Amino acid sequence: MASRRVGLWLIGACGSVGSTVALGLASLARKITPPTGMVTSLPVCQSLDLDAPATFVLGGHDIRKADFREGVLGLNERSGVFTARQIEACSLELLAWSGNVRPGTVLETNETIRALVDLPEVQRVRSPREAIERIQADLRAFQSKHKLDQVVVINVASTEPPFELTDEHQRLETLEAALNRVSPVALPPSGLYAYAALDLGLPHINFTPSLGTSCPALDELARLRGAPHGGKDGKTGETLLKTVLAPMFAARNLNVLSWIGHNILGGGDGRVLNDPANKASKVKSKDSSLSSILGYRPQSHVSIEYVESLDDWKTAWDHIHFEGFLGTKMALQFTWQGCDSLLAAPLVIDLARLALLAQRQNEKGLMPHLACFFKSPMGTDEQDFFRQWSAFEAHISAW
């Protein structure tokens, strides 16, 4: 085991989440930070043959001129997270891993995300097939250069606008045909990255609400190539609380009349979500859990507003109005003040470790046992956090 080396390839590598993953992995490897926030460090995972932080090499794609160190320093300056000591201690890794970041591939995306592109070398390709080939070339080069036993690809890029699936996304055969078409492009960027990874047999995790691997054709590809995959949209804050609190209301037979959630945040994520199209993907992902858990549809509302001064500090206010015995109306309100990237990054590392191990356990295709990590879990309809958690415990205890 000692000689195993693994790679973690991030789509949207040098954003806030990616940079935090880099600093985190390096800090863990140097044992200068405890694994707080990491599920795979819990006693329940103790006996698993998970890859140690020190065995990871980091790389990725980004469409902006950026490196991990700049990402880390920017977050430090704007959001007041990380200490100077942490950054200094890990500067070698941040520098080295930045050398593994390749210009992303831009084919077709919307204006808000296109505005982020400031990289002259960004690979402006002309067809989906060309995009996939370039992505795969980068992945192969990464694996061979660092002599990696396995590589896992995780999407932590900004949210894309919703993408409409059609019949051609139902089977691999029709998708393959559609990908030969130049226009309209058969998959959004997140789908092209996903196809490229799965086609190489690499496990793939979609930590965003974008399409990623969430269509039957791509699951077929994953099973064909022996790649486990999962997603989508990491469950880190307000939605986590929703899927924790809603089961309580259900178990007490308290009737939720309305559940209103207001999210305010700044940072790159906030800016992209300020575009109504991109926000639509996110709000949909956040709003679906309630009726699934409660068994009825209370009035609900989820808003996300860009507030520059907050940067990465997502603040959510939820007002839950419910009816108890004899028609009595009562209320629960909460305010969540969490630093989004710091909540996401340890889960990204968890998912990398769990996907790599799943592949070594010869699992392929969907990983529904990872539902507790996601807002819109693939392969299961279960939204109740504690039922998801039980399923996770049951699955890994069988490894």
Phi first, then psi, for residue 290 (nearest 5°) are -60, -55
223 class by beta-carbon count within 10 Å (0-12 exposed, 13-18 middle, 19+ buried): middle
In the structure encoding, which two tokens stand for residue 242, read together? 């929703």
DSSP type of residue 227: -
Give the Cα separation of 53 and 25 in Å (integer).
6
Binding of residue 20 to a second copy (CB under 8 A): yes
| Sign of the alpha-carbon torsion through 264, 269, 272, 273 | negative
| Complex with a second copy: residue 79 or 150, whichever CB lies closer | 79
Stretch that binds a second copy, among 20-28, 129-137, 173-181, 278-286 (CB under 8 A): 20-28
| Complex with a second copy: residue 130 or 323, whichever CB lies closer | 323
- Smallest gap from Cβ 160 to a second copy, in A, equals 25
- Smallest gap from Cβ 231 to a second copy, in A, equals 18
Of residues 230, 223, 264, 249, the one with CA closest to residue 331: 249
Contact pattern for a second copy over residues 37 through 56, marking x by CB under 8 A:
xxx-xx--------------
Pairing of strands 101-103, 56-62: parallel
Identify the helix (H) or strand (E) that includes residue 322: strand 313-323
Site for a second copy, residues 375 to 394, rule: CB under 8 A: 385-386, 389-390
- Smallest gap from Cβ 275 to a second copy, in A, equals 16
Binding of residue 84 to a second copy (CB under 8 A): yes
Binding-site size for a second copy (CB under 8 A) equals: 73
Binding of residue 333 to a second copy (CB under 8 A): yes
Binding of residue 326 to a second copy (CB under 8 A): yes
Contact pattern for a second copy over residues 243 through 282, marking x by CB under 8 A:
-xx-xx-xxxxxx-xx-x-x-x------------------
Binding of residue 33 to a second copy (CB under 8 A): yes
- Smallest gap from Cβ 254 to a second copy, in A, equals 6
Pairing of strands 329-339, 150-155: unpaired
Contact by Cβ (8 Å): 152, 350? no
351 class by beta-carbon count within 10 Å (0-12 exposed, 13-18 middle, 19+ buried): buried
Binding of residue 396 to a second copy (CB under 8 A): no
R_g of the chain, CA atoms, integer Å: 21
Q: Please name the residues in contact with 51: beta carbons below 8 A apart, sequence gap of 6 or more.
A: 4, 6, 352, 353, 356, 357
Stretch that binds a second copy, among 54-62, 144-152, 185-193, 239-247 (CB under 8 A): 239-247
Contact by Cβ (8 Å): 363, 343? no
Binding of residue 240 to a second copy (CB under 8 A): yes
Stretch that binds a second copy, among 177-185, 195-203, 216-224, 295-303 (CB under 8 A): 295-303
| Complex with a second copy: residue 81 or 116, whichever CB lies closer | 81
In the structure encoding, which two tokens stand for residue 86, read together? 């942490």
- Which one of 47, 83, 180, 397 is in contact with a second copy (CB under 8 A)? 83
Site for a second copy, residues 336 to 365, rule: CB under 8 A: 336-339, 342-343, 345-346
| Complex with a second copy: residue 41 or 112, whichever CB lies closer | 41
| Complex with a second copy: residue 199 or 238, whichever CB lies closer | 238
Phi first, then psi, for residue 291 (nearest 5°) are -65, -30
